[in-house]
Amino acid sequence: MAVPVAASCVCVRLDKMFVLVFLCVCLIAKLCVSSEMVVTGAEKTCDALYRDGVQAYLEERWQDCIDNLEHALSSYRLLKQTTVNCRLTCHAAADETSPMGPKSVDDLQFFEKMIRKTLCLLKCNKHNPKDGLHGLPKSVLKEFEDLKPYEYLQLCYYQKNLLQKAASAVFTYLVNNPDNKVMQENLKFYSELPEVDMSEVVNFEARNYVSLYIHGAEAYQHEDYKSVISYIEESLEDYLRAEDECRAYCEGPFDQGWFPDFVSSIANHFTYCLKCKRRCPDKLNSLNGEKHQDLLASHYHFLQYAYYKVGNLRKACEAVASYLMFYPADETMMNNKEYYFKLPKVEKDFFTPREEAVEYVQRQEYELRLLDFIENEFSFKDGSENAIDINETESHM
């Protein structure tokens, strides 16, 4: 009888990435630096810090460039996190509140929940620093979302001989923008410098689950299965938290560009948010620049084998069933399930998928069906004002 098959080891190839030390002139021209915001010291807004950093770059004041852009990035992360925290907190608070009526009449319970969330958000956002993300111009917000500050920072670091940080700034940008040819050449340039250790190049914007997952994969290679379980369980928890935060961030404002009636406006904004949320897995499925479409599911692959090796068969079977929620026809995992099922201590009810896997897959399937319905059904050639314009609901987030 064959033994169960473990998860494939994930190899992260930093040395395969690329870079040349210059910024395109078009990048310099693209961002117009204005003096409309004159704020000093600790009172500087994220926007002002960014503009001052770019101005310092243009004037070749390299240390000022570094100081301002690093502070701008730190300020942006704080603004984004507080906004996301408010949304998640208010979602949870509204869900835990008992409705005013015993049953939903005319969808009143749904709208009651929306009203409660709105009130909570109004109170929460009042305490956010500098009006939260709403205080940033859309153009600047887009620059941060695209990690443009790192394009400037890499050259400023280079000019101050901070070569390791310069390489990491380039790498950080490339994780989010892998097709940028200039930055590919830049990383190649840095990789050939004797002062740069490519094994020490990091993604400044990486979430905790990335390093936890990599540590788990390394522990698996060393057959340290207790550590595999510890790292991969924590990585799984942080990955799901990161996706929840990404989805919450998608619930931002939306300029519809027209004046729909009540129902259409709700459906239009919902579609905008839903499309943004469906892009979250693609944003998260990267391990230092390498895309892994099965990253979430692969946590359960590692866990099923690690739990088996430490003798926890129930947990191993739960992980098998959880993996099969994502890939029900996976031949390797089906063989593993058959192997486990033949073990004397294993019972049929051991193969119960974990709750978070069930909820995740059910939500994913429902959302995909709903998006497919929207794409196919809401296409009107007559320009009906009640139609949802699919192109208008595309999000840049």
The domain spans of the chain are 46-100+107-144, 147-192, 208-378
Tens digit of pLDDT for each residue in 207-235?
Answer: 999 999 999 999 999 999 999 999 999 99
Other beta carbons within 10 Å of 247: 21
CA distance 300 to 323: 6
Residue 287: phi, psi to the nearest 5? -110, 95
Contact 50, 210 (CB under 8 A): no
pLDDT at position 10 is 45
pTM for the model stands at: 0.84
Tokens of 145: 């979302």
CA distance 214 to 225: 14
- Is residue 290 helix, strand or coil? strand
User: pLDDT below 50 — which residues of the chain?
Assistant: 1, 9-41, 383-388, 391, 393-397
- The string of DSSP codes covering 67-102 is HHHHHHHHHHHHHHHHHHHHHHHHHHHHHHSPPSSS
pLDDT at position 33 is 40
pLDDT at position 389 is 52
pLDDT at position 239 is 98
Contact 284, 242 (CB under 8 A): yes
Residue 345: phi, psi to the nearest 5? -90, -5
pLDDT at position 169 is 97
Other beta carbons within 10 Å of 209: 26
Measuring CA to CA, which residue among 78, 71, 37, 35 is closest to residue 53?
A: 71
Tokens of 268: 């239009």
